[in-house]
Amino acid sequence: MTAESRYLRPPWGARVIGNRMAKLFARSVLSTLSVRGRKSGQWRKVPVAVLEHEGERYLIAPRGQTDWSRNLRAAGSGRLARKGRVEEFDAVEVPVAERPPLIEDYLSQFGKFPTVSETFRELPEPADHPTFRIVRHSA
């Protein structure tokens, strides 16, 4: 299996129950990412944790080559919603060589959440985790 295809499908409970519960109990941590589907063009939504690192913000895909990461790579932009505010942004993919300190910080901030640390143990290579820097649209 290549890094391009590495993906850990979340268990049923995490997909069906976990995402709904996360919206209720982790509002202070999670944002809702909206990105257009690379095939359908329809807006897709998923809860994500936004990493703040050295004055920049990042999205990291803990489960590997997720649909949202592939859609964001194709679209190059998306929307983040949190606490009633919506922000449009451009996404710049971070080169693999620059990902290790971001992943380390992501784990220190979010590794306590269910399955996060486990996914990085199962997919240990930085290339397995698409990572995007969030760049605000200029007005």
Number of domains present in the structure of the chain = 1
DSSP E strand stretches across 67-110: 77-82, 85-93
How many Å is the maximal CA-CA distance in the chain? Answer: 42
Q: Per mean pLDDT, which of 9-18, 26-35, 121-130 is the most reliable? A: 121-130
Q: Check whether 10 has a pLDDT greater than 60.
A: yes
Mean pLDDT of 37-46: 94
User: Angle at Cα 103 formed by Cα 113 and Cα 127, nearest 5°?
Assistant: 120
Q: Check whether 1 has a pLDDT greater than 50.
A: no
Q: Check whether 55 has a pLDDT greater than 70.
A: yes
Tell me the C-alpha distance between 138 and 126, whole Å. 30
**CATH at 107:** 2.30.110.10
Q: What are 59-108's pLDDT values in tens digits?
A: 999 999 999 999 999 999 999 999 889 999 999 999 999 999 999 999 99
Domain housing 69:
3-136
Q: What are 105-137's pLDDT values in tens digits?
A: 999 999 988 788 999 999 999 999 999 999 987
